[in-house]
Structure 1
Amino acid sequence: IALYQPDIAGNVGAILRTAACMGIGVDLIEPMGFTWSEKAVARSGMDYVGAVDVVRHVDWETFLGQVQGRIVLLTTKGAVRLDVAEFRSDDVLLMGSEGTGVPEEVHARADVRVLIPMRPGLRSMNISVATGIVAAEALRQTGGWPV
């Protein structure tokens, strides 16, 4: 899981908690809209935050220089519906910031763009919920669930 310039500490904490339970590392692409030491990260992540392999990147270019595998962007402008998307074990699931998503250059760099199907007229899901949904499907397809 990679989070592009996340805005809300509570969402990041919830994603870290989910990632810990699923055995998935998390990349944080800065700048973030909060300080890493913010209590909301710890509150929503509980004591699970220390159980996650977290890598912080100072910017998008630094992340690109270190990422391995396909970049799979979760977006409301996705080209592939989640229910037909095919995941690989080395995919990096990229989530945009809560307020603005990702800029066009990041969108264009994604190897795959995935859309969670939703009822018409609704804009988006909470990022931590959407991350859990996509991560669960990716783990199901790749046999990556913890034993």
Structure 2
Amino acid sequence: MVKLWFFIREATKLLAFNVILVEPEIPQNTGNIIRLCANVGATLHLVKPLGFELTDSALRRASLDYSDLTNVIIHDSLEEFLGTTSIDRIFATSSQANTSYHCVQYQDGDSIIFGSESVGLPSTLLDSLPTQNCISIPMMPANRSLNLSNAVAVTIYEMWRQLEFRGCRPFATKTAQYFS
């Protein structure tokens, strides 16, 4: 296990939840997820093999300068992650799961694991979890799946919403600029 980036934030209690990407393949997706994790205060775990180098310019471009604000931990394998990481509850994502992501009552300390863009998570992992811990995002029947970074964003923002956006800066007023 290698801790890649770490930034200590002050003053606010960060959420203790984790995003785990197993064998991500596309650097732009991972870069977007790095930026997302910085914005919600989640720790990102990347499980090797990765489909790109951590120095990939597309990864850096997509994550902008948020890499320094994100706690990213690299694991050599799924087995190593599961064997060395202390996690409270884990939810696995699958387009075949019967529980919708919004039906879960998320708690501080929860972890959500996502598979690679092309094949998803191994069936051995999905089969090892209770059925209610395998979640999916509703979509039209003819479609296979969402883009990985979009799926992570949808799921993580629902989790953060249920936790009342803990750690979030105060909401903007009508006179504030909403986008930078």
Q: Deviations over 1:89-132 (max 9, x none)?
A: 11111110001111111212345111111112111111101101
Q: Displacement of 1:61 after TM fit?
A: 1.1
**CA distance, structure 2, for counterparts of residue 68 and residue 8 of structure 1:** 26
Separation in structure 2 between the aligned mates of residue 144 and residue 17 of structure 1, nearest angstrom? 17
Give, in whole Å, the separation in 1 of the partners of 2:166 and 2:60. Answer: 25
Higher helix share: 1
Alignment correspondent of 2:56: 38
Q: Which runs of 4+ in 1 moved over 4 A?
A: none
Partner in structure 2 of residue 85 of structure 1: 104
The aligned counterpart of 2:119 is 100
Q: Which residue of 2 aligns with 1:141?
A: 162
> What letter corresponds to residue 60 of structure 1 in structure 2?
L
The correspondence for 1:19, drawn from 27, 37, 44, is: 37
Is 1:63–2:84 an aligned residue pair?
no
TM value normalised by structure 1: 0.94
User: In the alignment, which residue of structure 2 is the partner of 1:121?
Assistant: 142
Secondary structure, aligned partner of 1:93: strand
- Structure 2: which 5+ runs fail to align? 1-18, 169-180
Number of residue pairs aligned between Structure 1 and Structure 2: 147
SS at 1:92 equivalent: strand
Residues in 1 aligned to 2:160 and 2:102: alpha-carbon distance in whole angstroms: 14
Task: Give SS of 2:64's match.
Answer: helix
Residues 144 and 69 of structure 1: CA distance in aligned 2, closer, same or farther (over 3 Å): farther
The structure with the larger Rg is 2
Match of 2:67 in 1: 49
Query: Are residues 1:132 and 2:153 paired?
Result: yes
1:28 counterpart residue number: 46
| Residue identity opposite 2:113 in structure 1 | L
| Counterpart selection for 1:7 from 15, 25, 41 | 25
> Which residue identity does 2:134 align to in structure 1?
R
